[in-house]
Structure 1
Amino acid sequence: MAAPTSDRVAGVARALKLLEIITLGPADGMNLTELSKKIEISKSSTLALLRTMTDAGFVRIKEPGPRYLPGMTLLRLGDLSRTTQPIDEIAQTYIPALAQEIGMTIRVALNEGGRPVFISRADAPGSVRFHTMLGAKEFPSVSSAGKAILANLSDEEIAAVIDETGLPTRTKHSHGSLSSLMRDINQVRARGYAIDDEEDVEGIFCIGAAFFDHAGRCGGAISATGIKTAARQKRTAFFGAQVVKCADAITKELHGRRAR
């Protein structure tokens, strides 16, 4: 016999409340005891809700713990449902100046399930224009913005993303294995920005840095793109610092913070 309508509605309300608690919670997730206390129902009832939402991809489990965090389904739906206009407007107050300062084309990407989706661009000064499409998912392993996003996922999450996307060989510099990509990602984590050194297109050099939301999660990244030259490579650290500075400014405008 089906549960009364009032019971079903109450169950949905509790599930939505639990999802909200997890989404607004700490960047490293919450355990069962913490969630049960927050939602004020028994551990067994809380666990039943968590199992259902985990099966549907709305919640994911992080070990040791276990601790519960927003799942890829929730992140994907969030990206699809929110308007990109506010982020575009925020970015456009910063990226034109950065493009002028460093002489490179600047793009802004959202994080959609570990993949970059570019939504905005400011062209570099001069005659060279990079005609890059906006609105489509790009492969993270051959993109500085993509690698900046991946660097803020766990190693297990990165492996899951790459299992889905594969490792496209765009040039002889593209990563051919997950181990090669992970060595690169660890360098990104250490220095704070990612480099695409002719990995997507021969002769093109990019630098990317992530921005963050209020909970410390990576909301996306900005990237600087230009023709690879010896002079430009010598200034990589300077360009990287400027890209990080711009990404941090966007984070601040979003009332975000870097995860610890």
Structure 2
Amino acid sequence: MREVNNPGKDSAADERYRVQSLGRALDLLELLSKAGRDGGRLTDLANGLGLSKAATYAILQTFYSRGFISAIGEGPTKRYRLGMSLARLGDMAISNIALADMAMPVLRALTREVGLTSRVAILDEGYAVVIGRADAPGAVRFDAALGRRELPHSSAVGKSMLAALPRAQALTILRETGLPRRTPHTITSLTAVQADLDRVVQRGYAVDDEEDTEGVVCIGTCVFDRTGNAVGAISITGLKQNSSEDRQEQLATILIRHADQLSRHMGGLDGRDAWALRRVA
């Protein structure tokens, strides 16, 4: 049984897994955050960290090469400050948290209306990752664990988010994740996947017709921000035996209505306008 009332023991155990060099690098970011817009000089940063200027400079250059810090000035007057890569990561973290929190009331309303399990997902390193779910009461429980990575070419949320990306970016993701066959119905040809993504753009939603799990059909569409970029996707899941083409279209209309509501809550564009931008591009 784990000892929960001995913080000293837990602290000592955690200490074994801490990377000292990484800790110093993060301390440097903290120093730069306190330095503000004016940034900090190498000498001051080294003193603040208790490191040599050579060691501090090495950390700075590593961060600089990745865009996590920027530099202004030259020579002894050169100053360092936080870079835009941190802003990008911060925006993504805030967006993901906001999306999960704001999506749940929409998912619950969607599930009540259609009687099917609904989910919200983001695209993480090319994979669709579910960050929220509303189960339909009494319905079949599907294997949809939060945080689980799903292949983008065989899931409705994955395909909808791929379709919202510039095609070259989507193809790069598909080449990296591969096109493994999940079921006999999985699309495993890059040409066929591209044609499917074209259909998503035209109609505004994606369908996983037993492509990820036999006997299961999912419909997904994107949630967009104010610039028309997809910040995630929502979907509904049901059994193939209860699905027909007409039923899919009806469910897609309802799904899109709820996705548009979520997009508006986040200050974003309706799907109709966002997908139109991709048809013009």
State TM-score, norm by structure 2. 0.65
Query: Alignment partner of 1:92: what SS?
Result: helix
Q: Which of 94, 103, 115 matches 1:91?
A: 103
Distance in 1 between the 2:265 and 2:249 partners? 24
Distance in 1 between the 2:229 and 2:77 partners? 36
Query: Alignment partner of 1:245: what SS?
Result: helix
Q: Which has the higher contact order (CA 8 A, sep 6+)?
A: 1
Query: Alignment partner of 1:205: what SS?
Result: strand
Distance in 2 between the 1:79 and 1:225 partners? 30
Task: Tell me, yes or no, if structure 1 residue 237 matches structure 2 residue 249.
Answer: yes
Structure of larger gyration radius: 2
Cα deviation for residue 80 of structure 1 reads 6.5
Report the counterpart of residue 4 of structure 2 in structure 1: none
Distance in 1 between the 2:93 and 2:223 partners? 19
> Residue deviations 1:69-108, cap 9 Å, x none?
xxxx986x45764374432221111111211211211000
Which stretches in structure 2 are left out of the alignment for 5+ residues? 1-56, 58-73
- Pairwise mapping of residues 136-175 of structure 1 onto structure 2 (< 5 A)? 136-175=148-187
Report the counterpart of residue 225 of structure 1 in structure 2: 237
Assess if the C-alpha contact under 8 Å between 2:156 and 2:219 holds in 1. yes
Of 178-187 and 94-103, more deviation after overlay is shown by 94-103
Report the counterpart of residue 147 of structure 2 in structure 1: 135
Task: Tell me, yes or no, if structure 1 residue 181 matches structure 2 residue 252.
Answer: no
Assess if the C-alpha contact under 8 Å between 1:111 and 1:218 holds in 2. no
Query: Structure 1's 139 and 239: CA in aligned 2 closer, same or farther, altered over 3 A?
Result: same
Task: Tell me, yes or no, if structure 1 residue 210 matches structure 2 residue 281.
Answer: no
Query: Structure 1's 156 and 253: CA in aligned 2 closer, same or farther, altered over 3 A?
Result: same
Distance in 1 between the 2:242 and 2:219 partners? 15
Distance in 1 between the 2:147 and 2:243 partners? 32
Cα deviation for residue 250 of structure 1 reads 0.9
Question: What's the % identity of the aligned pairs?
Answer: 38
Q: Which structure features the higher share of helix residues?
A: 2
Distance in 1 between the 2:177 and 2:207 partners? 20
Cα deviation for residue 230 of structure 1 reads 5.1
Q: Which of 119, 126, 130 matches 1:118?
A: 130
Query: Structure 1's 174 and 231: CA in aligned 2 closer, same or farther, altered over 3 A?
Result: closer
Cα deviation for residue 135 of structure 1 reads 1.2
Report the counterpart of residue 82 of structure 1 in structure 2: 94
Assess if the C-alpha contact under 8 Å between 1:114 and 1:149 holds in 2. no
Of 225-234 and 161-170, more deviation after overlay is shown by 225-234
Report the counterpart of residue 207 of structure 2 in structure 1: 195
Assess if the C-alpha contact under 8 Å between 2:182 and 2:211 holds in 1. yes
State TM-score, norm by structure 1. 0.70
Report the counterpart of residue 7 of structure 1 in structure 2: 78
Distance in 2 between the 1:178 and 1:88 partners? 31
Report the counterpart of residue 247 of structure 1 in structure 2: 259
Assess if the C-alpha contact under 8 Å between 1:123 and 1:129 holds in 2. yes
